Every structure is written in structure tokens, then in C-alpha cells.
Amino acid sequence: MSAHQTRREQLAQRFAEAKIDALLVTSLKNIRYLTGFTGSSAFLIVEPDNATIVTDPRYDIQVRQQVDCRAKVSPKPLPTVEALLNKLAPRHLGIEAAHLTVHDYNRYRAALPKSTRLISTASLVETLRSIKSPEEIDVIRRSVDLNSQAFANTVARIKPGITEQDVAAEIDHQMRLLGAEGPAFETIVAAGPNTALPHARPSSKTLENNELLLIDMGSQVEGYASDMTRMLHLGEPDRRTKQLYRSVLDAQLAAIDAIRNNVRAAAVDRVARRTLATRQLDRFFTHSTGHGLGLDIHEMPRLGRTDKSVLRTGMAITVEPGVYVEAKGGIRIEDTVLVTDRGCQVLTPTSKELLVI
């Protein structure tokens, strides 16, 4: 049985609990996970012992090459899906509430028989996706390694006078040269005061001596994301910067130490926050400690203060505490790690020393 078929069966096993007889999958990442199809337009109907993907003629050849379930190619995919569902006429049809527009919902409602109820589902496929198979972990490892190599190749070219945009362009270029499909998200390069913005966009600001440089980058390899943040300093950092860096690193290491199978995600977040609190820095830590990653750069679980999820062996997550002080600057350190029975494995091979150039 193919990996995709196994996943569809695992999904179907959750139908009873979700009180549905079939699921209409409209998230492209979920469709990729369940079938292997990588095109940009498709619908998937999953029944307990059957699945049908519907796409348009641009993907006629591709869909037959990639998927091992029934495939229908139609110049008008949406009416074709409606016709299929009409024929199937399930009593309870699950829809992915997070991945269906109100417009399309209304269309399905009007097109389907009165006897079919549309049931909102949440995260049915995403929950399966949060635990990675050994094959997926291999791909994530390759993504992480490539990402670190792209970082190393770029660092050799960083010097005062070039812009944040120059650095970001070089990173993206290196990723592609090394075989990535591209960046997994818009590469973040922030220098000096811009480091205080956790999601800064690379600007035309030039790198100056005696300032911090934050690089947050992720590659996409065979569809899978990696994610890493590293800090550099142009010239020798002062004592305060070194202390701040040490505090964030301590919080990151403490959080990593707290990770293992069956631990609540919120507990890991708390460890990072408490470590920063011992240095009165917790109020500058304004985001969550990490997130799952895979086919999406942000997926389940979230390692936030109020998150209810429990970490499980096989989850790939990031650990990325940070402190951000307006007008001064910010520091974040981020690794991709794999949850194991007894702890976790840090996949990111790049050194976590503050890199002085």
C-alpha cells in the first residue's frame, strides 16, 4: 500500500468521530499529503474506501503520474465535483471549514441534495500531518541541512555596505543553487534597529559596523519546509549585547531541554518565558516559542502560552524565543527540532554562537 493510501485510510478512520460519511478536501497542502498531487488547483473527495481527485486539463498528465486514486480531469472542476457529490449523496459530508470560501459553501449547499448535510470539520488532515513519518523526517532533514548550507554560503559574502535586500537575495539564490524549490517563506534579514521587528521585511538599509544582523530563513525541499534564525554582529559586540544574546540562548536551550513525547506545548513555552523572566526580559518576548512545520511553514502544533496541544514523538517543530526592544534591537535564535520519546533531536546543524564578522 502506498504512503498516500495509508494516510487516506487513517483519515477515514476518523470519520466516525467527526460524524461524517465522506470528506471534501479543499486545502491543496492536504490534497498533496493525501495523494502526492502537487498542482495548484484540485479537489479531493475521500470516502471510507475510495478517493477521487478532480483537477483541470493543465494537470491532465501530471495527475495521472502523481496520484494512485481515481482522477477526473475537467475544464470545469467545481461543477464536476458537485456532480460527483450529488451522485454519492452522503448523509453527512465533511467540509474543511478553514479552507472553503463562503461563496463555494453556498454553491455546494445549493447543488447538493437536501438529504446531504454539510458538516464543518477542523484540522482532520492537519492532525495527521503533525506526526511525521520516517520518510517525511528524511525530507525535513534534507531541507534543514540545505538551509544551513545556504546560510553558510551567504555568511561568507556579508560585509558592511551591502543592504538587507542584498543579503536576502543572496540567501534565496544560494537555496536554489543547492537544489531547493525556493524559500519556504519570505526570507527575513534585519539589521540594527530593524532587528526589533520580529517579522521585518528586508529593506534597502545598508549594514553598518557595530550592529546586529538577524537572519530568519527557511528552504523548501520536496515540498517540506525548514526554519532557522541566526544572529550576526558586525564588529565586536558590547557587553550588553552579549548578555542579551546569552539570555535568549539560555531560554532557547531550556525550552529544547523541556521537549519530549507527551509534554504539553504550553509547558515548553512557559520554560522559555520563565528563563527570560529571571532576567526581567519576558515582557520583550512577544510571540510564541515555536510551531510545527512540514508541507506548511506553520502547522500544528503551536508552542504558545494557551495552546492545548501535546507534543508527540515524530512532530517536527521550531524553538525560537526572542526579545525585541524598540529602537534598540532584537535577538531571536531558532532551530528545527524533532520530538522523540525521551527528548528531542535538534536537526539544525548551524552553530548557535553569536557570529561576529
Q: Kindly tell me which of 4 and 141 has the beta carbon lying closer to Zn ion.
A: 141
Alpha helices, DSSP H only, in the chain? Answer: 3-12, 15-18, 28-35, 60-66, 77-88, 102-111, 124-130, 134-155, 164-177, 239-258, 265-277
Least distance in angstroms from the C-beta of 282 to Zn ion: 19
Rg over alpha carbons for the chain, rounded to the nearest Å, is 23
Q: Kindly tell me which of 149 and 318 has the beta carbon lying closer to Zn ion.
A: 318
Stretch that binds Zn ion, among 43-51, 211-219, 248-256, 344-352 (CB under 5 A): 211-219
Q: How many CB atoms lie within 10 A of CB 149?
A: 19
Q: Is 216 in the site for Zn ion (CB under 5 A)?
A: yes
CA 237 to each of CA 95, 206, 274: distance values in angstroms, whole numbers, following the listed order: 53, 18, 26
Q: How many residues bind Zn ion (CB under 5 A)?
A: 4
Q: How many CB atoms lie within 10 A of CB 282?
A: 17
**Of residues 258-297, which lie at the interface with Zn ion (CB under 5 A)?**
none
Nine-digit cell at 333?
535564535
Least distance in angstroms from the C-beta of 217 to Zn ion: 7
Stretch that binds Zn ion, among 140-148, 150-158, 160-168, 225-233 (CB under 5 A): 225-233
Coil, helix or strand for 315?
A: coil
Candidates 164, 166, 170, 227; binder of Zn ion (CB under 5 A) is 227
| Cα distance between residue 21 and residue 48, in whole Å | 7
Q: Kindly tell me which of 271 and 333 has the beta carbon lying closer to Zn ion.
A: 333
Least distance in angstroms from the C-beta of 355 to Zn ion: 17
Least distance in angstroms from the C-beta of 292 to Zn ion: 10
Q: How many CB atoms lie within 10 A of CB 16?
A: 10
Least distance in angstroms from the C-beta of 353 to Zn ion: 19
Least distance in angstroms from the C-beta of 320 to Zn ion: 5
Q: Which residues bind Zn ion (CB under 5 A)?
A: 216, 227, 318, 334
